[in-house]
Chain A
Amino acid sequence: MNKTSMISLGFLVVMGVFPFFADSAWLAVGITFLVFSVVAFSQDIILGRAGAFHMGHAAFFGLGAYTTAILNTQYGWPILATWAPAVIIPVAVALITTAPIIHLRGDYLLVTTIGINIIFLQVLENNLFGITGGPNGIFGIDVVTVFGFELFDQIYMYYMAFILLGITLFIMRTLDGSKFGRAMFYINKDDVAAQSMGIDIRYYKLYAFAIGAGLAGAAGSMFVVQYSAVSPEAFDVMQSIMFFTIVLVGGSASLPGVLLGTFVMFVLPEIFREFETARYLVFGLAMILTMILRPRGIWPVKFGNIPAFLKKGKK
């Protein structure tokens, strides 16, 4: 077992027992942490691992949220039934929108993904198909019901988000040891070299986008059930920038780094309300200082993402 797996296992254990010590207010903070961790990890798959400069992640997060909200409130689907579409639709949209632009490098891709996010927001705000509720959003989303039993208590919400995080960490672990993970590793280090080795960059980057969008969509679905309301301002470009910087400031492809970033950006403001307004200042400063002093992130990967097959004698 390597260091990353130990950290993720330890993290899962801590989060797994957390509800036994927490009251409802802390439980809500815990849910926020879990949901946003999943989004941050899904961004990390695209940005930290595949190295694609993707700054429109809030669009996929929002797509999952709106899929659940619309299917539930407009078409009367139970929340459970909306989970599959809330993953599939973001994946499909990610593939359709990024396939034509996936060959773009660095800042070019960054600009186009911001464009995707802006278009998504415009669609929501202008109530394009009369189903998004315009700038107000959608209210009165149901709670999860299993066999007629309403999982209304927050503890259920917590463990659903917890399971989603578990799935996310499992996927990421599986990816790391797979053909995909190795390909990602090379592409991220040097894409020209990777291509000359015969790695299909386009295919693997799209693969990363698809997985990232799917996980973000699932997290969006959780988000909307937690607050039983959704509105466009939660998915603007600022939010995408947040996810982007969490990964860069925390440390690309670094599990504790991404968790740290999520904690500072989304959990601390929940705990200290006074911090709410100061957080952009703090985070802005952190961004500047990190990029100058620790360009690879606060908690960079030391040897974590070197595939096991490269490390002699270790398995």
Chain B
Amino acid sequence: MRILPRVAASVAVCALLVTAGSAADVIKIGVQAPITGKYANEGQSIDNGVRLVIDQLNAKGGLLGKQLEVVSCDDEGKAQKAAICARKLVNEGVLAVIGSYTSGATEAAQTTYFRNKTLQTSDGTSGSLTKQKYWTFFRNSFRNSDQAAFTATYLVKEKGYKNIVVISDYSGYSVDLADSAAKSIKSEGGNVIYQGKIKSGTQNFTAVLTKIKSMNPDAIYFAGYYTDGGLIRAQQQQLGIKADFIGGDANDNPDFVKLAGKSAEGTILVNFPTAEFLPYDAAKIFIKDYTAKYGKAPSSVWALMNVDGLNAILHAAKETKSLDTKTISNYLHTLRDFPGITGPVSFREDGERINTKFNIYEIQANGKYKIINK
């Protein structure tokens, strides 16, 4: 048996290397985001944004006299990968995790962070994210139900659509948003003639669109992601469906316009104020720095929301002079009007961000957004 001693020796060497390597005194910040895969440009923006903030902070001397280090984990927007990422980042000993982009990946990782007392801040909008009331979780965006109520008022009261079609994909975020929207439309007195689901990433949505065409709707509300939304819009035009297209917040990405091509013109998007329309000084400075470093602007407002979550956590650690996550969390729950990139940051007791400001955009022929809400 010559193999056994060798195996034992290599295991021992590995173990030694590991124990020797983990002594450095830095604060680790985790990023869990879809750095590759369908939502890669959002994930990369989050990763880039966090790294920019941490680099700037390190240049100024770090946090509480310590340098910071960013550890990224790619969840590809998939739940199982997210759960694995959560394990990895917890094992790395991160103080807080920024992300993920999708609600599904965020929720899959949530429990592991909570059990290991690791802070997490995400832009996920699903209502279910704050259902557990984990003290470790902070939503840096808004709830689907808020957006749905705002959208419904616009569709029914302002535009006076009679027959509305609601489409979603099967993801947690999308189903949640579509259900809340349908509910809000009904309570506003509107008429949802069809609520359907598409399989994300299918490319060809003509089957469901043909069905919709026969119903002659006034408006199609799509509660899914931009990768599908752009294509649905393009195929809707090809099939000659006259209805207006209204996209939910996750359609707000430059790729929507690319995928929809010429059909993008006239599309209505509902979202939190997009990066270029943010009136705050913090936003202008951050976007300038980001563009200078990476050669392009952040993909959308989502990365900025996550950066706000990060900044709030760093601010809390600095104010409480503590790296204890419970202390930081207690402070964050009482945080009011912290000047963020996307506006004042305040958290409720259940980790919900307090704000409800939305914008409605119409995409112009040149692909630019025009604010059309009053």
- A positions within 8 Å CB-CB of B: 3, 6-7, 10-11, 14, 18, 21-28, 125, 127, 134-137, 139-141, 143, 152, 226-231, 233-234, 256, 277
Nearest-neighbor residue (CB-CB) of B114 within chain A: A140
B112, closest chain A residue (CB): A228
Q: Which residues of B contact A27 (CB under 8 A)?
A: 91
| Contact call B83/A26, Cβ cutoff below 8 A | no
When A10-B4, A26-B15, A140-B132 are in contact, do A231 and B80 touch as well, CB less than 8 Å? yes
For the complex of A and B, list the 8 residue pairs with the smallest distance between their C-beta atoms, beginning with the closest: A21-B15, A231-B79, A227-B83, A229-B83, A25-B91, A229-B108, A234-B80, A10-B4
Contacts of A230 in B (CB 8 A): 79-80, 83
In the bound complex, do residue B80 and residue A233 qualify as a contact, i.e. CB atoms below 8 Å apart? yes
Partner of B14, one of A26, A134, A141: A26
Bound-state CA distance A141–B112 (Å) is 10
B246 shortest CB reach to chain A, Å: 24
Q: How many angstroms from the CA of A27 to the CA of B90 in the assembled complex? A: 12
B contact residues, total (Cβ < 8 Å): 41
Contacts of A21 in B (CB 8 A): 11-12, 15-16, 18-19
Known: A25-B92, A230-B80, A233-B80. A125 touches B170 (CB 8 A): yes
Q: A28 touching B87 by the CB < 8 A rule? A: yes
Bitwise, B40-84 to A at CB < 8 A (1) or not (0) is 000000000000000000000000000000000000001111111
Chain B residue nearest to A10 (CB atoms) is: B4
Known: A6-B4, A24-B91, A25-B88. 4 other contacts (CB 8 A): A18-B15, A229-B112, A231-B108, A277-B36
Residues in A with CB closer than 8 Å to B18 are: 21-23, 25-26
Q: How long is the Cα–Cα vector from A7 to B2 in the complex, in angstroms?
A: 10
A21-B12, A229-B83 as given contacts; A140 in contact with B111, CB under 8 Å: yes
CB 8 Å contact bits of B105-141 with A (1 = contact, 0 = none) = 0011111100100000000000000001000000000
CB–CB A137/B112 < 8 A: no
| Chain A residue contacts of B1, Cβ below 8 A | 3, 6-7, 10
The residue among A141, A152, A226, A228 with the most chain B CB atoms within 10 A of its own CB is A228
Determine whether the beta carbon of B170 is less than 8 Å from that of A134.
Answer: yes
How many angstroms from the CA of A14 to the CA of B175 in the assembled complex?
48
B22's nearest neighbour on chain A, judged by CB, is A23
B86 close to A (CB within 8 Å):
yes
| Contact present for A139 and B80 (CB under 8 Å) | no
Give A137 to B80 CA distance when docked, in angstroms: 8
Q: A25: which B residues are within 8 A, CB to CB?
A: 18, 88, 91-92
Nearest neighbor of A226 in chain B, beta-carbon distance? B87
Question: Of A7, A23, A136, which one neighbours B19 at CB under 8 angstroms?
Answer: A23
The reply to whether the CB of B104 lies closer than 8 angstroms to some CB of chain A is yes
In the bound complex, CA of A3 to CA of B81 (Å): 38
If A26-B14, A229-B108 touch, whether A139 touches B79 (CB-CB below 8 Å) is yes
Take A139-B107, A139-B108, A139-B110 as given contacts and tell me if A229 and B82 are in contact as well, using a CB distance cutoff of 8 Å.
yes
Q: Confirm or deny: B24 has a beta carbon within 8 angstroms of a beta carbon on chain A.
A: no
For B7, what are the chain A residues with a Cβ–Cβ distance below 8 Å? Answer: 10-11, 14
Neighbouring A residues of B19 by C-beta, 8 Å: 21, 23
Contacts A21-B19, A26-B18, A140-B132 known; A227 to B170 CB distance under 8 Å?
Answer: no
Which residues of B12-37 have CB atoms within 8 Å of chain A's CB atoms? 12, 14-16, 18-19, 22, 36
CA distance A10 to B3 in the complex (A): 9
A133 to chain B, nearest CB (A): 8
Residue of A nearest to B106 (CB): A139
CA distance A230 to B108 in the complex (A): 8
In the complex, what's the smallest C-beta–C-beta distance from B234 to chain A, in angstroms? 24
Contacts of B115 in A (CB 8 A): 143, 152, 228
Flag whether B172 is at the interface (Cβ < 8 A): yes
Report the separation of the CA atoms of residues A143 and B112 in the bound assembly, to the nearest whole angstrom. Answer: 10
Are A233 and B11 within 8 A (Cβ)? Answer: no
Kindly report which residue of chain B lies nearest to residue A134, judged by CB atoms.
Answer: B170
Contact check: which of A24, A136, A152 meets B107 at CB < 8 Å?
A: A136
CB neighbours (8 Å) of B14 from chain A are: 26
B207 contacts the other chain (CB 8 A): no
Known: A134-B170, A135-B170, A136-B104. A141 touches B87 (CB 8 A): no
Given the interface contacts A6-B1, A14-B11, does A227 sit within 8 Å of B112 by beta carbon? yes
The docked-state distance in angstroms from the alpha carbon of A7 to that of B82 is 35
